[in-house]
Amino acid sequence: MAGVIKKYYPSSKIIFLGKTYTKPVVEMSKFVDEFINWDELQKAPNAIEVLRNLKADVFIHVFPNKAIARLIKATKIPLRIGTFGRLHHILTCNKKVLFSRKKSDLHESQLNLKLLSPLGITQHFELNELATLYGFEKKPSLKPELQHLIDPNRFNLILHPKSKGSAKEWGLDNYLELTNLLPKNQFKIFISGTAEEGNLIGNTFDFDENVVSLIGKLSLTDFIAFIAKTDGLVAASTGPLHIAAALNKKAIGLYAPKRPIHPGRWKPVGQHAQAVVFDDNCEQCAKGFDCGCISKIEPQTIVNLLLNQD
């Protein structure tokens, strides 16, 4: 969205209001001029004054939040854009956009752009166009001890098996089989995840010089820097997958075709990104039932995609 706004309004100043964990991602974009930390702002005794001092002309509620909506109305920012789908937006926004995320076939990134229509931005962007508008030019530096792990003579691949429950997962057994199938002379593999996820991963993998654990070892900033130096990443619909896609890595996302978690809505957007499902026409998913068809994606399918490194 920031890239599109800058495309139409090159002299605009874009301020991003986000939670602490989003800051390392947002700060990479050349299209974002300033970051305001919501976790800190909501604790401030003078939050309204802080926001008024920004002298903003427009506020766009991309992610609906009742507390933010009330706060922004109190600051009297002239143009406050939200959706008709939220009651608190009807009461707090003076420009409402009508569209349905649930029933739409558009990608989440394309749906978000509909909120720009009050600014006169109504162009439909294809996903390959949006892949060029991240503006991720301010990448963090990789620490020497992490740089040392990268093998310049092999394809450096990150596998991110868990999702903190935010997505349907492929299954640890499939990731293990993938590590066994990939040619060791061509691939160096890194297993990533939080320390908490490490408890779930347990002893699934035999870590050695070919399969290296990053579990619980990296801050988000370090993880972003590491992804930027590697060649690819395989994961379910998670933050690391989308970061890898945005950094133009070979990002392979594993999905179920069930709405609203299907790849049409949430696939990674990048010049070398792709989404994989077992069966686009899965009857269980089509009926909205809980389905484990994602686990039926063959590890060899992923191997073939990785070996085709175009």
CA distance 196 to 201: 9
pLDDT in tens, 113-146: 999 999 999 999 999 999 999 999 999 999 999 9
- 8 A C-beta contact, residue 259 and residue 273: no
Q: What's at 149, amino acid-wise?
A: L
pLDDT in tens, 218-268: 999 999 999 999 999 999 999 999 999 999 999 999 999 999 999 999 999
Q: The whole model's pTM is what?
A: 0.94
Helices (H), the chain: 2-8, 23-26, 38-41, 47-52, 66-75, 87-92, 108-113, 127-130, 144-147, 172-181, 195-201, 220-229, 239-246, 263-266, 283-286, 299-307
Name every residue whose Cβ is closer than 8 Å to that of residue 14 and which is 6 or more positions away in sequence: 2, 5, 6, 31, 32, 33, 34
Residue for token pair 């399918």: 301
Give 86's pLDDT tier (boundaries 50, 70, 90): confident
Domains of the chain from N-terminus onward: 2-130 (3.40.50.2000), 153-307 (3.40.50.2000)
**What's the whole-number average pLDDT of the chain?**
96
Q: What's at 114, amino acid-wise?
A: K
Give the DSSP per-residue string, 65-119.
-HHHHHHHHHHT-SEEEEETT-HHHHHH-SEEE---TTT--S-HHHHHHGGGGGG
User: What is the predicted pLDDT for the residue at 103?
Assistant: 80
Give 101's pLDDT tier (boundaries 50, 70, 90): confident
pLDDT in tens, 166-224: 899 999 999 999 999 999 999 999 999 999 999 999 999 999 999 999 999 999 999 99
Mean pLDDT of 76-87: 94
User: What is the predicted pLDDT for the residue at 310?
Assistant: 56
Give 308's pLDDT tier (boundaries 50, 70, 90): confident
